């Protein structure tokens, strides 16, 4: 891929959390190669609502 190329990442849930709320996770990209260094891209955010 060339610099500036947009990509989309899909996530498949295995199980939802037992409690509703906002969950943050770090997003790091790695280049292809033998010893790639990760580049932190920021935080991803998922929000779950409590089932009543």
List of residues 6+ apart from 26 with CB closer than 8 A: 40, 42, 43, 44
**Rounded Cα–Cα distance for residues 35 and 37 (Å):** 7
pLDDT tens, 1-52? Answer: 777 888 888 878 788 788 889 999 998 988 888 888 999 999 999 898 887 7
How long a stretch of residues is the chain? Answer: 52
DSSP structural state of residue 33: S
In which domain, by residue range, is 52 found?
Answer: 1-52
State both tokens at 39.
């580049």
For residue 41, give the nearest of 14, 18, 1, 7 by alpha carbon.
7
pTM, two decimal places:
0.55
* The pLDDT value given to residue 42: 94
The domain total for the chain is 1
* The pLDDT value given to residue 17: 83
* The pLDDT value given to residue 4: 84
């Amino acid at each position: 891929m060339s610099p500036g190329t947009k990509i989309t990442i899909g996530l498949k849930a295995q199980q939802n959390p037992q409690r509703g709320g906002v969950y943050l996770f770090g997003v790091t990209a790695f280049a292809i190669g033998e010893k790639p260094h990760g580049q932190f891209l920021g935080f991803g955010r998922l929000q779950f609502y409590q089932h009543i």
